[in-house]
Each structure stands twice: as structure tokens, then as C-alpha cells.
């Protein structure tokens, strides 16, 4: 543990695991993953490892990093560096992103949504709600899905999100303050919110391949490992065993800690170099 007064967080559990052991819970975002493929082809280090949680039989659900997993799979890497964080640790917090959509029209958006099978738009709220639409000017519209299984519901939700992914500009926001949203995005015409998800929902989505759309679930981990800069050559080396790679990783981490090259920031931060 790293002791920060009353706040103690575990040293990041960094591991090298087979790429094949990771299970996404959401679809990858092709708009992000395609440029990432070209970037990783030319990079020499992994900057931010995906965040994963243990499932069963040596498998891990990806909490954050589905695009990086997709890229490593596409490039044929046998192994990938991850940070393991357990849901029951008390250091993992699950919430949702909100989607702010701009660069299109509300009327065209609603018209396309109404064409999705099993979807109803109302102003009521019940257990069939999969999303809510708050127009810049207007009343809240609830999106209902009349399906009988979580898998079918998630598939319908993916159809819903893909409508504005393909036709509008999508921004993710953590803030639920509507005034903040409209001020930050003057060209936005609607804000999309989603019902809460729980760890069991995330794990079920991964196990049953019933993926959520990209950019809905939001995992906050106390002690997240960023700017790790671990050599990619180690991960793609076919001649070194996984056991040896992890032994080398442990020595690398111990050396970083011994030389005070790891710094913990307790406060929430904004990064301006993404």
C-alpha cells in the first residue's frame, strides 16, 4: 500500500497476460481504434495499460481499454500489459458517461431512432428504459426497449448509440449539470443519459458477448497506473515465456519504486495532452 495520510491505495497490480485471456464488455470504437493501430505500429512503449478485473478460469473482463485490446489482437501480440483491479477491492467505482451529441438535428435523430425495431419513445419512466434524451430545448424523452433478454436489450442499445455515432459528433461528459454541458458544447442539440450499471452487468456482458456500446460504462480506480511506458518489444517477444516476462516486470516495478520514479496523485485531475 501507498500511504497518503488517511488515504491508502494499493500499488498497481501490473501483470503481463495472454491477449486471448481478455474479454471486452463493450464494442470497440472504430473511430478510435483505427488511428490507434497506426500509432502503436510506430511506438516503442505501452503508455497506459488496459484496466481489467478477474472473472473465472484465468480470464479478465476489460473495464477500460477495449480499443487497446482490439489493437493488440489485430497486430498479433501474444501478450499484453494490464492493471488488475478487483471489483470487491473498494478501489473500483462504476458509473456512466453521459453522451452529448452535436452537429446534427434533433428531428433527424428522432426519426432514425423511431426506425429501430423494439424501440419506443415516450415521456414515461419504467424498467424498460435504456436511455433518456434531453434536447437543448424541450422535454425529456425516454427510450424504451421491448426485449426479453439482457443480450437483446444490449444489442438494441448498440443500435441506438450507433445512430448518432455515425451521423453526429459525440462527446463524453461526466457532469450531469445541464448548464455546464450546454456551455461547454454550444453546438450540442441533446444530452443522452443511461440507467446505472452494476459489476454483475459488466461481467455478464463480457461472458455472454452481449456487448454494451463503447463509452457508456465509466470505471474510476483509485491508484490507476498511467504513463507506464513499458517496452512493447517485451510484450511481442515470442521467445520469452510468460512467467519470465512477469518476473522481469516485477523487477522493473521494484526498481521504479526504489528510485522514486512512481508518483501517486490523490486529487482528481484533468489531462490536456490526450
Q: What local confidence, expressed as pLDDT, does residue 1 receive?
A: 45
Count the neighbouring beta carbons within 10 Å of the beta carbon of residue 235.
20
- State the average pLDDT over residues 204-232: 94
- Please write the tens of the pLDDT for every residue from 228-237: 999 999 999 9
- State the average pLDDT over residues 9-35: 86
Q: How confident is the model at residue 33 (pLDDT cuts 50, 70, 90)?
A: low
Q: What local confidence, expressed as pLDDT, does residue 137 receive?
A: 83
- Please write the tens of the pLDDT for every residue from 140-182: 999 999 888 889 999 999 999 999 999 999 999 988 788 999 9
Q: What local confidence, expressed as pLDDT, does residue 36 receive?
A: 73
Chain centroid to CA 254: 29
Q: What local confidence, expressed as pLDDT, does residue 229 receive?
A: 95
Percent of the chain with pLDDT over 90: 73
Q: How far apart are the C-alpha atoms of 104 and 3, rounded to whole Å? A: 49
Q: What is the mean pLDDT of the chain?
A: 91
Q: What local confidence, expressed as pLDDT, does residue 253 receive?
A: 96
Using DSSP's 3-state secondary structure scheme, residue 23 falls into strand
Q: How confident is the model at residue 3 (pLDDT cuts 50, 70, 90)?
A: very low
Identify how many contiguous H helices and E strands the chain contains and give both numbers: 8, 17
- Please write the tens of the pLDDT for every residue from 44-77: 999 999 999 999 889 999 999 988 898 899 889 9
Whether pLDDT at 209 is above 90: yes
* Residue among 38, 65, 37 at smallest CA distance from 51: 65
Q: What local confidence, expressed as pLDDT, does residue 30 receive?
A: 65
Q: How confident is the model at residue 272 (pLDDT cuts 50, 70, 90)?
A: confident
Quote the Cα angle for 16-18-20, to 5°.
Answer: 145
Whether pLDDT at 31 is above 70: no
Which of these ranges, 29-33, 227-231, 258-262, has the smallest mean pLDDT? 29-33
- State the average pLDDT over residues 222-227: 93
Backbone angles phi, psi at 24, to 5 degrees: -70, 155
* Structural domains for the chain: 2-91+222-258 (3.90.1530.10), 96-195 (3.30.1760)
Query: What is the DSSP code (8-state) at residue 212?
Result: B
Q: What local confidence, expressed as pLDDT, does residue 21 receive?
A: 97
Amino acid at each position: 500500500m501507498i500511504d497518503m495520510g488517511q488515504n491508502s491505495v494499493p500499488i498497481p497490480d501490473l501483470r503481463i497476460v495472454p491477449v486471448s485471456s481478455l474479454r471486452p464488455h463493450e464494442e470497440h470504437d472504430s473511430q478510435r481504434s483505427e488511428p490507434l493501430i497506426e500509432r502503436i505500429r510506430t511506438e516503442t512503449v505501452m503508455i497506459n495499460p488496459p484496466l481489467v478485473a478477474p472473472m473465472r478460469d484465468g480470464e479478465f473482463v476489460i473495464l477500460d481499454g477495449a480499443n487497446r485490446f482490439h489493437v493488440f489482437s489485430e497486430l498479433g501480440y501474444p501478450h499484453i500489459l494490464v492493471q488488475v483491479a478487483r471489483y470487491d477491492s473498494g478501489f473500483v467505482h462504476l458509473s456512466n458517461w453521459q453522451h452529448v451529441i452535436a452537429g446534427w438535428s434533433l428531428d433527424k435523430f428522432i426519426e432514425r431512432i423511431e426506425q429501430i425495431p423494439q424501440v419506443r419513445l415516450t415521456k414515461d419512466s419504467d424498467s424498460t428504459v435504456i436511455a433518456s434524451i434531453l434536447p437543448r430545448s424541450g422535454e425529456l424523452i425516454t427510450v424504451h426497449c421491448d426485449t426479453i433478454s439482457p443480450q437483446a436489450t444490449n444489442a438494441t442499445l448498440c443500435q441506438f448509440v450507433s445512430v448518432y455515432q455515425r451521423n453526429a459528433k459525440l462527446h463524453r461528459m461526466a457532469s450531469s449539470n445541464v448548464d455546464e454541458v450546454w456551455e461547454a458544447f454550444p453546438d450540442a442539440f441533446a444530452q443522452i443519459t443511461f440507467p446505472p450499471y452494476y459489476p454483475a452487468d459488466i461481467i455478464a456482458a463480457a461472458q455472454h458477448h452481449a456487448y454494451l456500446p463503447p463509452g457508456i460504462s465509466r470505471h474510476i480506480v483509485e491508484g490507476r497506473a498511467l504513463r507506464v511506458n513499458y517496452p512493447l518489444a517485451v510484450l511481442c517477444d515470442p521467445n520469452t515465456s510468460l512467467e519470465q516476462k512477469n518476473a522481469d516486470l516485477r523487477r522493473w516495478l521494484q526498481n521504479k519504486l526504489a528510485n522514486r520514479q512512481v508518483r501517486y496523485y490523490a486529487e482528481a485531475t484533468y489531462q490536456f495532452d490526450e
